[in-house]
């Protein structure tokens, strides 16, 4: 308290409350709302966790108390302009709008003292004896508009919401930090980008050279589509790449009955079929986004729907993961252990690959008189037939992709031939594109809470989904074998690296494009042994399932309603496909595919056996996909079982009218080069 003598005689004890009838009860805003700032006092409070003002100035010297009115005298602002909201003794009752602005500025730690009393320790209001609660609490409507950015304030200095992030969406820290963080970002996502081609190309009968070419194509398309998404799509720092959502349907198409009798050149024939299906399904997704239908579809999508759907994607590959790891357990198990310990895929891969190389060079997998290049059916010796599988899976010198790949190769569209279109495969990919859109909805919402000032509007989300459809069309034309979508692992990477700048992702995308032109890079990545690929996928799929379940944090995870919906969705997503996959297969049947590919041949023996072969193919295949069953069960139950919005955890998107009034939101999601002005009339894909 100041030592200056007041003009009136001070009263003993605490000061009485202000006589103003419109003043708030003598308690701080933080105590009223339960807000807990990071520092002592209320100097770091922010409105609803959205937008906060700059840090407060030092409280030296303290404001001069007015003992008559129970208020603090105003202190001049740093620029010499007095604070405009400090009330004089016995002021007129302010309007609701004035009270809203006053509470907003008080809550963000202005240098003035709150109107309800002088400052006490840690900047909190001194608590004194008060009258009974004669003043009713202010209506909640005032709290609802507190998070509106005040007019005349530069948003660049106000958006300090994410204190846990080193750099946010529009930050440009410099070339060196951007390069380092961008490299780290893509390094952590490397497994998600390159592992899918290492699975589907050998399944199509492709050679190691074909695998290297597809890997280079994936790097090229991922770089191009990431640049498109960060510039003209959602504008969030999300890497685009081959999604695991497309892996199961791709394997189902690869193992279709009509492809079993092909003699030679299976890879190009099956790839053209995949390209045609992906192009049609991606065009459907683009129409879903750019037509505005996605905004309507959003009403059905909540965290309770997204969570089991994405979790089912990761859990669905349990029959592929460890069964393939078990073919060379001493390498595969060590790979899983190292990845779990280091939590960094490239480091664990490098250590295991080096150990496997030493074992191969030491002759641990060399058997006298046995040649790994001789087909197993032509091997006469029982000794060699017993060990040929172990040699093929454990040795690291079986691939010749690095030696045979060129130094320079430019991926070009239609490099495998003209796509082939069949309605039944295209229909499957259309359904898969819906699941991919559901996956992206969760990624958009979670990443925007980390790096942006607000969640995107439904129009921005539709724009992002539409561009993902166009990106998948490019993936189909170039022939990556899968569609291109926002990778779910992006959210985890953003939270760990704390780098939310879109410039880092864009620089990394440019590096991917350059690496895709070096053929030796694709050949090197294609040389990773299959056992190590399966071990890495065990970790990636487990993390994908966990990331899917983490969406429940946006709802009441302990609600019995949500527990039942998620539990039923996950159970039936495993049980119903198991029924279809095992139907019509006798225990003694000799299958022509490895055991880990058995779930994907359901089209030839499923329970639907009507006279319409195409319909049988579609129904048997779709109902054998775990993610499709999980989505159907979850979306039906979540939208029919009664529950409040808070219990369901309905995603909250920014309102277009509010977003247009906030410069920060416009800068986060607005299209560059003033393109948004040209397409301002397309309101359903904009702010």
Smallest Cα–Cα separation from 205: which of 581, 535, 597?
597
289 and 468 in contact (C-beta within 8 Å)? yes
* 80 Cβ contact partners less than 8 Å away, ≥ 6 residues apart: none
- The Cα 497–Cα 510 span in angstroms is 20
Backbone angles phi, psi at 584, to 5 degrees: 75, 5
More confident site: 508 or 265? 508
Q: What is the pLDDT of residue 394?
A: 79
Beta strands in 412-459 (DSSP E): none
Which is it for strands 65-66 and 240-242: parallel, antiparallel or unpaired? unpaired
Q: What is the pLDDT of residue 588?
A: 62
Q: What is the pLDDT of residue 79?
A: 43
Smallest Cα–Cα separation from 117: which of 69, 164, 170, 46?
69
More confident site: 374 or 570? 570
Q: How confident is the model at residue 625 (pLDDT cuts 50, 70, 90)?
A: very high
591's tokens: 């299958």
Give mean pLDDT, residues 412-420: 92
Give mean pLDDT, residues 630-658: 89
- The Cα 620–Cα 578 span in angstroms is 12
- 81 pLDDT above the threshold of 50: no
Instruction: Count each helix (H run) and each strand (E run) in the chain, helices first.
Output: 28, 4
- The Cα 51–Cα 265 span in angstroms is 59
Q: What is the pLDDT of residue 396?
A: 79
Q: How confident is the model at residue 372 (pLDDT cuts 50, 70, 90)?
A: low
Percentage with pLDDT > 90 across the chain: 31
Q: Which of 95-99, 141-145, 435-439, 586-590 has the lowest mean pLDDT?
A: 141-145
Q: What is the pLDDT of residue 114?
A: 39
Please tell me what DSSP assigns to residue 148.
Answer: S
Q: Which of 76-80, 167-171, 198-202, 385-389 has the highest mean pLDDT?
A: 198-202
Q: Which of 120-124, 354-358, 622-626 has the lowest mean pLDDT?
A: 120-124
Q: How confident is the model at residue 16 (pLDDT cuts 50, 70, 90)?
A: low
Q: What is the pLDDT of residue 90?
A: 47
Q: Which of 62-66, 328-332, 602-606, 636-640 has the highest mean pLDDT?
A: 636-640
- 141 pLDDT above the threshold of 80: no
One-character DSSP codes across 41-60: TTTT--BTTTB-PPPPPP-P
The pTM score is 0.73
Q: Which of 30-44, 138-152, 576-590, 644-658 has the lowest mean pLDDT?
A: 138-152
Q: How confident is the model at residue 381 (pLDDT cuts 50, 70, 90)?
A: low
Q: How confident is the model at residue 634 (pLDDT cuts 50, 70, 90)?
A: very high
Q: What is the pLDDT of residue 170?
A: 84
Q: How confident is the model at residue 495 (pLDDT cuts 50, 70, 90)?
A: confident
Q: Is 632 exposed, middle or buried (0-12, 13-18, 19+ CB in 10 A)?
A: middle
Q: How much is the mean pLDDT over the chain? A: 77
449 and 455 in contact (C-beta within 8 Å)? yes
Q: Which of 79-83, 109-113, 303-307, 553-557 has the highest mean pLDDT?
A: 303-307
Q: What is the pLDDT of residue 319?
A: 85
Q: Which of 333-337, 454-458, 546-550, 650-654 has the lowest mean pLDDT?
A: 650-654
Q: Which residue has the tokens 């595969």?
A: 332
The count of residues in the chain is 687
Q: How confident is the model at residue 314 (pLDDT cuts 50, 70, 90)?
A: very high
141's tokens: 């409507």
Which is it for strands 240-242 and 484-486: parallel, antiparallel or unpaired? antiparallel
425 and 273 in contact (C-beta within 8 Å)? yes
Q: What is the pLDDT of residue 20?
A: 53
Q: What is the pLDDT of residue 156?
A: 44
- The answer to whether the peptide bond before residue 61 is cis (omega within 30 degrees of 0) is yes
Q: Tens digit of pLDDT for each residue in 322-355?
A: 888 888 888 888 888 888 887 766 777 788 888 8
Give mean pLDDT, residues 148-173: 57
Q: What is the pLDDT of residue 492?
A: 83
Q: How confident is the model at residue 265 (pLDDT cuts 50, 70, 90)?
A: confident
Percentage with pLDDT > 70 across the chain: 70
383's tokens: 């000794």
Q: Which of 56-60, 221-225, 407-411, 656-660 has the lowest mean pLDDT?
A: 56-60
């Amino acid at each position: 308290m100041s030592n200056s003598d007041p003009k009136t005689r001070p009263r003993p004890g605490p000061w009485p409350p202000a006589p103003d009838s419109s003043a708030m009860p003598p308690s701080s805003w933080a105590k009223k709302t339960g807000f807990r700032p990071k520092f002592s006092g209320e100097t770091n409070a922010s409105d609803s966790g959205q937008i906060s003002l700059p840090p407060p100035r030092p409280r030296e010297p303290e404001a001069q108390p007015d003992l008559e009115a129970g208020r603090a005298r105003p202190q001049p602002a740093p620029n010499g302009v007095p604070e405009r909201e400090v009330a004089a003794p016995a002021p007129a009752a302010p309007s609701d709008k004035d009270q809203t602005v006053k509470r907003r500025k008080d809550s963000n730690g202005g240098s003035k003292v709150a109107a309800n009393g002088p400052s006490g320790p840690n900047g909190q209001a001194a608590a004194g004896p008060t009258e009974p609660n004669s003043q009713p609490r202010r209506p909640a409507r005032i709290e609802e508009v507190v998070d509106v950015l005040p007019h005349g304030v530069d948003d660049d200095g106000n958006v300090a919401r994410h204190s846990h992030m080193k750099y946010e969406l529009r930050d440009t820290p410099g070339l060196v930090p951007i390069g380092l963080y961008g490299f780290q970002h893509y390094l952590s996502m490397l497994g998600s980008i390159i592992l899918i081609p290492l699975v589907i190309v050998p399944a199509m009968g492709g050679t190691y050279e074909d695998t290297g070419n597809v890997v280079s194509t994936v790097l090229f398309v991922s770089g191009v589509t990431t640049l498109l998404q960060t510039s003209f799509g959602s504008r969030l720092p999300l890497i685009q790449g081959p999604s695991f959502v497309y892996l199961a349907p791709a394997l189902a198409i690869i193992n279709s009955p009509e492809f079993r009798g092909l003699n030679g050149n299976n890879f190009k024939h099956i790839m053209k079929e995949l390209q045609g299906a992906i192009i049609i399904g991606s065009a459907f997704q683009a129409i879903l986004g750019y037509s505005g239908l996605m905004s309507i579809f959003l009403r059905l999508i909540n965290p309770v729907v997204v969570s089991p759907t994405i979790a089912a994607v990761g859990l669905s590959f349990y029959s592929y993961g460890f069964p393939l790891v078990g073919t060379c357990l001493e390498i595969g198990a060590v790979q899983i252990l190292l990845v779990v310990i280091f939590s960094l895929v490239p480091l664990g891969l490098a250590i295991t690959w080096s150990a496997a190389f030493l074992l191969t060079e030491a002759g641990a997998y060399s058997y006298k008189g046995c040649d790994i290049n001789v087909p197993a059916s032509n091997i006469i010796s029982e000794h060699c037939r017993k060990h040929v599988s172990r040699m093929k899976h454990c040795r690291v010198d079986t691939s010749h992709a690095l030696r045979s790949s060129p130094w320079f190769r430019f991926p070009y569209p239609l490099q495998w031939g003209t796509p082939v279109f069949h309605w039944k495969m295209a229909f499957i990919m259309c359904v898969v594109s819906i699941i991919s859109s559901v996956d992206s909805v969760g990624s958009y919402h979670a990443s925007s809470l980390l790096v942006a000032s607000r969640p995107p509007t439904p129009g921005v989300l539709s724009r992002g989904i539409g561009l993902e459809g166009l990106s998948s069309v490019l993936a189909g034309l170039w022939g990556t074998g899968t569609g291109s979508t926002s990778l779910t692992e992006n959210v985890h990477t953003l939270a760990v690296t704390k780098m939310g700048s879109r410039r880092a992702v864009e620089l990394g995308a440019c590096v991917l494009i350059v690496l895709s032109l070096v053929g030796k890079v694709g050949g090197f990545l294609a040389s990773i042994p299959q056992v190590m690929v399966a071990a890495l996928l065990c970790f990636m799929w487990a993390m994908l399932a966990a990331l899917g379940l983490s969406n429940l944090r946006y709802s009441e995870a302990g609600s019995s309603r949500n527990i039942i919906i998620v539990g039923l969705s996950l159970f039936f997503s495993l049980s119903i496909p198991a029924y279809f996959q095992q139907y019509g297969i006798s225990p003694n049947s000799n299958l022509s595919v490895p055991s880990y590919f058995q779930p994907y041949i359901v089209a030839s023996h499923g329970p639907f056996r009507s006279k319409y072969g195409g319909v049988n193919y579609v129904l048997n295949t779709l109902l054998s996909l775990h993610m499709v069953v999980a989505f159907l069960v979850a979306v039906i139950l979540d939208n029919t079982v009664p529950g409040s919005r808070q219990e369901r955890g309905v995603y909250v998107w920014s309102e277009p009218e509010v977003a247009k009034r906030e410069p920060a939101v416009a800068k986060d999601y607005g299209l560059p080069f003033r393109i948004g002005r040209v397409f301002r009339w397309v309101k359903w894909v904009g702010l």
